[in-house]
């Protein structure tokens, strides 16, 4: 298909698609002439993936670049591919290089994970995210206590167990990655949205007037 068709069907402008081509997010089409190239369904799918990660997941182009580069590199095994992608998802917590308080928060996170018996890589970015949040909570005068965290931990475990049940290891590489990205990037947004809605409902019932 032509680039204009790709543009129409993906909802991105031709200019944006060209930009993604330059950045290596989208592989080139097969050239049919000096000023002509042919794109296929894989390009369209790729663009839809990029769009979802950008617009819903709010991932920076650089992170998406890393993910698709790993995807396109056939030498990378499935396990490593998923690991790379997960790492690229970030979050990209700026290492504030805060001293003692930061180290204490990191330590809290490590103990928590150990206590829960979770098997998590030592450099998982989510560790930093959690530590950063603990730090902020403390700075605002909200100490972190385990009983406070309990419902969140339970929710995370329940949801992950459910998600893991849906994983299967005999799907094509691309599909496996897509499934992982969808559960961690898109369904996380679903969870956030539902949380906010449920929160509004709960406050309405708590303080609100009659239905």
DSSP 84-124: HHHHHT----------HHHHHHHHHHHHHHHHHT----TT-
Site string for DNA, 44-83 (x = CB under 7 A): ----------x-----xxx---------------------
Distance of CA 33 to the CA centre of its chain: 38
In the bound state with its own copies, the residue whose beta carbon lies nearer, of 4 and 189, is 189
Does residue 200 touch its own copies according to CB under 8 A?
Answer: yes
Nearer to DNA, 63 or 177 (CB): 63
Tell which positions 4-43 bind DNA, by CB under 7 A. Answer: 4-5, 13-16, 18-19, 21-22, 28-29, 31-37
Of 31 and 192, the one with the shorter C-beta distance to DNA is: 31
| Distance from C-alpha of 64 to C-alpha of 80, rounded to nearest angstrom | 16
**Region binding its own copies by CB under 8 A among candidate stretches 25-33, 35-43, 50-58, 67-75:** 50-58
**Is 178 a residue that touches its own copies (CB under 8 A)?**
yes
CB of 10 to DNA, least distance (A): 12
Instruction: Tell me the sheet residues that pair with 86.
Output: none
Q: Which residues of 53-92 are buried (b: 16+ CB within 10 A; e: fewer)?
A: bbeebebeeebbbbbbebbeeeebeeeebbebbbbbbeee
- Contact string (CB under 8 A) for its own copies, positions 131-170, x = contact: -xx--xx-xx-x------x-xxxxxxxxxxxxxx--x-x-
- Asked if residue 7 binds its own copies (CB under 8 A), the reply is no
Which residues sit opposite 193 in a β-bridge?
Answer: none
Intra-chain end-to-end CA distance of the chain, in Å: 54
Write the burial class of residue 112 (CB in 10 Å: 0-12 exposed, 13-18 middle, 19+ buried). Answer: middle
CB of 73 to DNA, least distance (A): 21
Q: In whole angstroms, what is the distance from residue 110 CA to residue 115 CA?
A: 8
Q: For binding to DNA (CB under 7 A), which residues are involved?
A: 2-5, 13-16, 18-19, 21-22, 28-29, 31-37, 54, 60-62
């Amino acid at each position: 298909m032509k680039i204009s068709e790709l543009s129409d069907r993906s909802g991105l402008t031709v200019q944006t698609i060209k930009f993604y081509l330059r950045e290596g997010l989208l592989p080139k089409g097969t050239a049919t002439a000096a000023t002509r190239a042919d794109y296929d369904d894989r390009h369209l799918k790729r663009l839809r993936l990029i769009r979802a990660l950008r617009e819903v997941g709010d991932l920076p182009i650089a992170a998406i670049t890393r993910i698709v580069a790993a995807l396109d590199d056939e030498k990378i095994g499935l396990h490593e591919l998923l690991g790379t992608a997960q790492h690229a998802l970030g979050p990209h917590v700026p290492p504030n290089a805060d001293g003692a308080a930061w180290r204490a928060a990191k330590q809290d996170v490590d103990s928590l994970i150990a206590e829960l018996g979770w098997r998590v890589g030592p450099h998982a970015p989510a560790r930093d995210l959690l530590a950063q949040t603990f730090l902020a909570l403390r700075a605002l005068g909200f100490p972190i206590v385990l009983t406070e965290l309990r419902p969140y931990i339970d929710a995370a475990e329940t949801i992950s167990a459910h998600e893991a049940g849906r994983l299967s290891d005999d799907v094509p590489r691309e599909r496996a990655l897509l499934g992982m990205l969808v559960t961690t990037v898109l369904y996380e947004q679903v969870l956030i949205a539902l949380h906010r809605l449920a929160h509004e409902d709960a406050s309405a019932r708590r303080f609100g007037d009659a239905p």
